[in-house]
């Protein structure tokens, strides 16, 4: 092999080494870009999940508040029914006492005659 042929081979190997170095740098750059894109997507997904969780939390709180208000309204309605029933019972008891007194008076008057 002549010096000239040897030099050509060395030049080709140098060129190949530069090409490999360039390819490695390009791949490193692409890997970094993909890492950044993935990180951006992860952050976006995290934000969406947090927003979804916050919305669910707000809906749950609103649902609980509505249920609490409904329970309170039901309690008040039950108390009103109990009061109304008590009043009706008092009226019925008054009528019954009046009727008993009238019957007793009638019996006493009937015995007196």
Q: One digit per residue, pLDDT tens: the chain, 113 residues?
A: 788 898 999 999 999 999 999 999 999 999 999 999 999 999 999 999 999 999 999 999 999 999 999 999 999 999 999 999 999 999 999 999 999 998 988 888 888 77
Compute the distance between CA of residue 2 and CA of residue 74 in angstroms, rounded to an integer: 106
pLDDT for res 3: 87
Going along the chain, which residue ranges are E strands?
Answer: none
pLDDT for res 92: 93
Backbone dihedral angles phi then psi of residue 2, each to the nearest 5 degrees:
-85, 165
pLDDT for res 107: 87
CA distances to 78, 81, 88, 91 from 84, in Å: 10, 5, 6, 11
pLDDT for res 10: 93
pLDDT for res 7: 92
Q: Please count the residues of the chain.
A: 113
């Amino acid at each position: 092999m002549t010096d000239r042929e040897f030099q050509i081979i060395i030049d080709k190997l140098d060129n190949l080494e530069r090409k490999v170095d360039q390819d490695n740098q390009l791949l490193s750059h692409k890997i970094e870009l993909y890492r950044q894109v993935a990180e951006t997507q992860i952050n976006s997904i995290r934000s969406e999940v947090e927003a979804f969780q916050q919305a669910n939390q707000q809906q749950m709180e609103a649902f609980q508040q509505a249920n609490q208000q409904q329970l309170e309204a039901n309690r008040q309605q039950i108390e009103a029914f109990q009061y109304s029933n008590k009043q009706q019972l008092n009226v019925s008891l008054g009528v019954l006492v009046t009727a008993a007194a009238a019957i007793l008076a009638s019996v006493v008057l009937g015995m007196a005659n």
